[in-house]
Structure 1
Amino acid sequence: MESALGVDGGSASVRLRKRKSALYRVAPGGAGGRGAGIWGSFYLCLFTIALRQLNCFLVQTSFVPDEYWQSLEVAHHMVFNYGYLTWEWAEGLRSYLYPLFFASIYKVLHLFSVDNVQLLIWLPRIVQALLAALADVKLYSLVKQLDGAETAKWVYFCQLSSWFTWYCCTRTLSNTMETVLTTFALCYYPMEGTKMGSSIRYLTLASLAFLIRPTAVILWAPLLLSHFWREPMKQNLILYKYVPLGVITLGSSLIIDRIFFGKWVVVQLNFLKFNVLQNLATFYGSHPWHWYFTQGWPVVLGTHLPFFIHGCFQAPRRHHIFLVVVLWTVTAYSMLSHKEFRFIYPVLPICMVFCGHSLKKLQKWKKAAVSFLLVSNLVPILYTGLVHQRGALDIMGHLQELCSTISTPTQASVFMLMPCHSTPYYSHVHCPLQMRFLQCPPDLTGKTNYFDEADLFYSNPLSWLKEEFHGNATLLPSHLVFFSVLKQDISPFLVSNGYEKTATFFHTHLPQGRIGSHIYIYKRNQTPL
């Protein structure tokens, strides 16, 4: 009897302590209560922002031309009224909405007379890094709400340790903004099994992603169809959500583009027509249909790939829609001939959700898995961020020094004998320095044998240079910039016109075709040899 009473008394005592503990947890400001949750979220956000800012400054390499030519260069032209707009802007294939974001930053700097070239280069990336950090936190919050804090912790770790996310998330690419907006939108998407709330927020964010990059419709198609299928008030969803929001967002885009183009242009339609219906993007390269599955996706996921596959079998049923989105997006992009790693970047955060579920289930191997992911991703993070293709940015800093000479009678001029758009342009120089590069617009007339200026040059560089300048010394630029692979072909031209090498910049350990391992800068003497 004493033993029984002792057990009962102990159990009652335990139950009482549990009640008190529960009350203490829910008390505002109590340790582990709402106040602690708020502070926990604050510190998580602060840490993520600090990490992404470090991420920003540890990425000092170039990736693709669009991170400058479709964003910063356009913004520079909008604010400072000089620069260069590529053929896409003449054809109305791009919306001014995304460059307007950076133009706003440039305008503020200009108004306060602090438009220093370093601020023009770094401030847009710092802001992009801030948005990326907020997206990381929102992804954590989404998974925490759906699957609990433990799973959210591992998803957050996978997101931060992804080498491709580190490589892309601070770049001024439309794909990066599409990824950020998609992640934000998913946090408000009505998942299966959850209460159907207001869909305005997720639809607004998804619409913005579409306006910035029309191919976002590929990713959102299965999500919109799933929502429509599960929505009991389908007619109201169309009449009071889809239609009004579509009219407002498209109307806003039309007005913005009307202001800057000077005419009415439906850029989203032009974009889809050029890239999908006419498939003219193949001018910039094509790949076999399976490229994303055999190369693109494995490279983007990196060493997270086995954890993604494992996580697909571990994630709960409600996440099947995410798996459908990933597989559909990769399959849809596989149907297009022109393929790039960055095109499937928006589904990478979704893949990290499955990777997080995998790590949660790996009880005995968890420490080994974490160490493996950290070490295996650290190498490409540092190499691609600090070494690979850095010459294209380093030479711009050197050319910017020429700005101090443009007010002299003998003005400096630069000719970049490189594949077109190999480097940034006026956004990284910020002075009216005379610059020229080899043009490479696609053929929009349907000619069978079409060669752009860059193709004509590389077919016979020495002959092209002689014909271009006609032996007239007054037409020669003061500086030539080219990859090391070109030196042997144009050496006679350099010697006969008095050019001497003044700077060499490392670019890549993996030279290929027209891309050399180093970039040379040659300056012309006043008295040629």
Structure 2
Amino acid sequence: MENLRPRLNFGNKVQVVKLRKRKSELYSKEDGTSPLSDGELWSRLVVFSVVFRLMNCFLVQSSFVPDEYWQSLEVSHRMVFNYGYLTWEWKAGIRGFIYPLFFAVIYKILHVINYDLVHLLIWLPRILQALFAAFADVKFFFLLRTLESPDVAKWTFFCHMVSWFSWFCCTRTLTNSAETTLTCLALVYFPLPGSTKHSSSVYLSLVAVAVLVRPTALIVWFPLVLLHFYQEENKLRLVTHSLLPIGAVALVISTVIDCIFYEKWTLVQFNFVKFNVFHGVADFYGAHPWHWYLSQGLAVLLGPHLPLFVHGCCLAARKYKTLLAAIVWTVAVYSCLPHKEFRFLYPLLPFCMIFCGMSLAHLGAWRRPAALLLLVTNLSAALYTGLVHQRGTLDAMSHVRALCDVTSTPPPDVLFLMPCHSTPYYSHVHCPMKMRFLECPPDLGEEGYVDEADQFYVDPLHWLRTSFPYKSSLPTHLVLFDVLEEEISVFLQGNKFVRTAEIFHTHFPEGRVGGSIFIYERH
């Protein structure tokens, strides 16, 4: 990578020394006694980031999307404790075991030392995710110091840390969260203009891991790697010493791990493309218009940062054209796919924050009021979405978990009459209690296929009567959203089900998802 570094003559070296001295002065303590050394700055930033992300972790007590559990913790729980439920994706071989394996190792250690308490199974993976995010925060700040002046670096880091969407997602056990953290770390070692710590082998290794965790990470990094290849003087060395070896090792490790846990030859990356692109299985979970990311997705992802991002693009489009090209490319590619979600754009957030920081730093006298407004609006959104909105499905599992200690006859038998995968499952209960939910695997070619959840919602009363023709087959507990209660009230009263809990879920009920969750028990 030496050939990418600018060659400096003596005069340039003098200027660099002066610039570094100026940066050191700007990072001095306010009383002017002595500047902060890199070591002091590093230690202070580590403490701040760790404390901040741990607070972040514990102040996010809501659910986001089912993949947060069903592609990570549920799989890990089954790997270690040999009971649980795997969705159709794991039966079809389109998901890799590398990400769940990380949590499975933690679960196995807890199991071996006989300390596999359910609260540790829930929170320890999230705490580790938070620490990983904190490490990326620190590395990102020191990258900013090499790219920009201390002032711009400070305001960019501020934008990064106050982002409500980052707060909402970064400590969750989503593959998107790990993908974003790995992307942020890889960016530190990518040869951006002005970067002094770039390393092809390091950033490509991090990209490879991100792709193994979530294959769509390749979309974000394709234009960046391509541009690096174009600018690299020794292209053959880059390919033979970095690209090919790292890609081959990553593919071999991934394939070996997947073959072990699938117990058959499985190439997950090929299956992922086959099902989601050629068979269009992702469309089963909803389709959106092509402009959805432009009209809604980016606005939600950036939130109050959006005006700063637009302004920053005008200021730094030429300097950071590489990052801007990656943003445009990724949004364009995802816009061509029918199924769209906010979290798919999450790995772009560190790129966007660089433009936001440039904007905020150039607002002059207005930047402090703008920063205060940014903090208040983001904090409000972060606390509401983390502590209030969509928390009922997690709170309901606390009530279900209490049934593990029930020794009555018949034993607990819980039926979730909700849209499929609305709640986490055995990873949040941790006992082999009988549970069942309405399943919704996609149509894989079966003529006239209708999933169980859709069959139920066509005529809930009929489905219940035909599924449970005898009282002896009835579940002991039902978990449902309040919008369903009136429709099945005859069934509830006729079979002596009594409401035992009402749990708040959201202020914005929509369709099959109600504002509250009811738990009924049969007497």
Correspondence list, 1:175-254, <5 A = 175-192=176-193, 198-254=199-255
In the alignment, which of 479, 482, 505 is matched to residue 480 of structure 2? 482
Name the CA distance, whole Å, in 2 between partners of 1:508 and 1:195.
47
1:440 maps to 440
2:518 maps to 520
- Structure 1 stretches of 5 or more lacking a match? 1-17
One-letter code of the match for 1:517?
G
SS at match of 2:492: helix
One-letter code of the match for 2:455?
L
Q: Please say if residues 190 and 199 of structure 2, whose CA atoms lie closer than 8 Å, have aligned partners that are also in contact.
A: no
Q: Please say if residues 147 and 194 of structure 2, whose CA atoms lie closer than 8 Å, have aligned partners that are also in contact.
A: no
Correspondence list, 1:89-168, <5 A = 89-168=90-169
Name the CA distance, whole Å, in 2 between partners of 1:398 and 1:233.
61
Residue 110 of structure 1: how far off its partner (Å): 0.9
Name the CA distance, whole Å, in 1 between partners of 2:144 and 2:331.
23
One-letter code of the match for 1:465?
L
1:274 maps to 275
Farther-moved stretch of structure 1 (192-201 vs 327-336): 192-201
Matched, 1:306 2:307: yes
Q: Please say if residues 478 and 523 of structure 1, whose CA atoms lie closer than 8 Å, have aligned partners that are also in contact.
A: yes
Instruction: From the superposition, tell whether residues 198 and 353 of structure 1 become closer, same or farther in structure 2 (CA, over 3 Å).
Output: closer
Residue 192 of structure 1: how far off its partner (Å): 3.6
Residue 524 of structure 1: how far off its partner (Å): 0.2
Q: Which whole-Å deviations, capped at 9, do the CAs of 1:284-303 have from their partners, x for residues lacking one?
A: 00000000000011111001
- Structure 2 stretches of 5 or more lacking a match? 1-17, 26-31
Q: Which whole-Å deviations, capped at 9, do the CAs of 1:185-244 have from their partners, x for residues lacking one?
A: 010011246569641000000000001111111100110111100111112211221111
1:87 maps to 88
Matched, 1:427 2:427: yes
Residue 36 of structure 1: how far off its partner (Å): 2.3
1:13 maps to none
Name the CA distance, whole Å, in 1 between partners of 2:104 and 2:141.
31
Name the CA distance, whole Å, in 2 between partners of 1:296 and 1:214.
20
Residue 139 of structure 1: how far off its partner (Å): 1.4
2:502 maps to 504
Instruction: From the superposition, tell whether residues 392 and 197 of structure 1 become closer, same or farther in structure 2 (CA, over 3 Å).
Output: closer
Name the CA distance, whole Å, in 1 between partners of 2:396 and 2:375.
32
SS at match of 1:317: coil
One-letter code of the match for 2:387?
L
Name the CA distance, whole Å, in 2 between partners of 1:195 and 1:352.
20
Q: Which whole-Å deviations, capped at 9, do the CAs of 1:248-284 have from their partners, x for residues lacking one?
A: 0000000110110001111111112222233221100
One-letter code of the match for 1:436?
R
One-letter code of the match for 2:454?
D
Q: Which whole-Å deviations, capped at 9, do the CAs of 1:409-430 have from their partners, x for residues lacking one?
A: 4211100000000000000000
SS at match of 1:502: strand
Correspondence list, 1:268-417, <5 A = 268-315=269-316, 317-405=318-406, 407-417=407-417
SS at match of 2:436: strand
SS at match of 1:364: helix
Q: Please say if residues 147 and 193 of structure 2, whose CA atoms lie closer than 8 Å, have aligned partners that are also in contact.
A: no
Q: Please say if residues 215 and 272 of structure 1, whose CA atoms lie closer than 8 Å, have aligned partners that are also in contact.
A: no
Residue 316 of structure 1: how far off its partner (Å): 6.8
Residue 317 of structure 1: how far off its partner (Å): 3.1
Instruction: From the superposition, tell whether residues 333 and 303 of structure 1 become closer, same or farther in structure 2 (CA, over 3 Å).
Output: same
1:453 maps to 452
Superposition CA RMSD, Å: 1.7
SS at match of 1:93: coil
SS at match of 1:71: helix
Residue 32 of structure 1: how far off its partner (Å): 4.8
Q: Please say if residues 158 and 356 of structure 1, whose CA atoms lie closer than 8 Å, have aligned partners that are also in contact.
A: yes
Q: Please say if residues 59 and 167 of structure 1, whose CA atoms lie closer than 8 Å, have aligned partners that are also in contact.
A: yes
One-letter code of the match for 2:450?
F
TM-score w.r.t. the length of structure 2 is 0.92
Name the CA distance, whole Å, in 2 between partners of 1:292 and 1:312.
18
Name the CA distance, whole Å, in 1 between partners of 2:33 and 2:425.
54
Q: Which whole-Å deviations, capped at 9, do the CAs of 1:318-369 have from their partners, x for residues lacking one?
A: 3110111111111110000000000000001110010000111010211110
One-letter code of the match for 2:466?
E
Name the CA distance, whole Å, in 2 between partners of 1:316 and 1:351.
11
Residue 140 of structure 1: how far off its partner (Å): 1.0
Name the CA distance, whole Å, in 2 between partners of 1:273 and 1:446.
17
Name the CA distance, whole Å, in 1 between partners of 2:195 and 2:230.
14
Identity of aligned residues (%): 55
4+ long deviations beyond 6 Å: none
One-letter code of the match for 1:431?
C
Q: Please say if residues 139 and 187 of structure 1, whose CA atoms lie closer than 8 Å, have aligned partners that are also in contact.
A: yes
One-letter code of the match for 1:430?
H
SS at match of 1:389: coil
SS at match of 2:37: helix
Name the CA distance, whole Å, in 1 between partners of 2:153 and 2:449.
53
Name the CA distance, whole Å, in 1 between partners of 2:280 and 2:342.
18
1:3 maps to none
Matched, 1:463 2:462: yes
Instruction: From the superposition, tell whether residues 197 and 399 of structure 1 become closer, same or farther in structure 2 (CA, over 3 Å).
Output: closer
One-letter code of the match for 1:468?
S
SS at match of 2:364: coil
Q: Please say if residues 439 and 454 of structure 1, whose CA atoms lie closer than 8 Å, have aligned partners that are also in contact.
A: yes
One-letter code of the match for 2:465?
K
Farther-moved stretch of structure 1 (271-280 vs 83-92): 271-280
Correspondence list, 1:14-93, <5 A = 32=34, 36-93=37-94
Q: Please say if residues 443 and 450 of structure 1, whose CA atoms lie closer than 8 Å, have aligned partners that are also in contact.
A: yes
Matched pairs, number:
497
SS at match of 1:521: strand
Name the CA distance, whole Å, in 1 between partners of 2:223 and 2:102.
29
Name the CA distance, whole Å, in 1 between partners of 2:376 and 2:317.
29
Q: Please say if residues 193 and 318 of structure 1, whose CA atoms lie closer than 8 Å, have aligned partners that are also in contact.
A: no
Q: Which whole-Å deviations, capped at 9, do the CAs of 1:368-395 have from their partners, x for residues lacking one?
A: 1011101111211111001110000001
Name the CA distance, whole Å, in 2 between partners of 1:260 and 1:69.
16
Residue 313 of structure 1: how far off its partner (Å): 1.9
Instruction: From the superposition, tell whether residues 233 and 385 of structure 1 become closer, same or farther in structure 2 (CA, over 3 Å).
Output: same
Residue 147 of structure 1: how far off its partner (Å): 1.0
Name the CA distance, whole Å, in 1 between partners of 2:437 and 2:274.
28
Q: Please say if residues 279 and 336 of structure 1, whose CA atoms lie closer than 8 Å, have aligned partners that are also in contact.
A: no
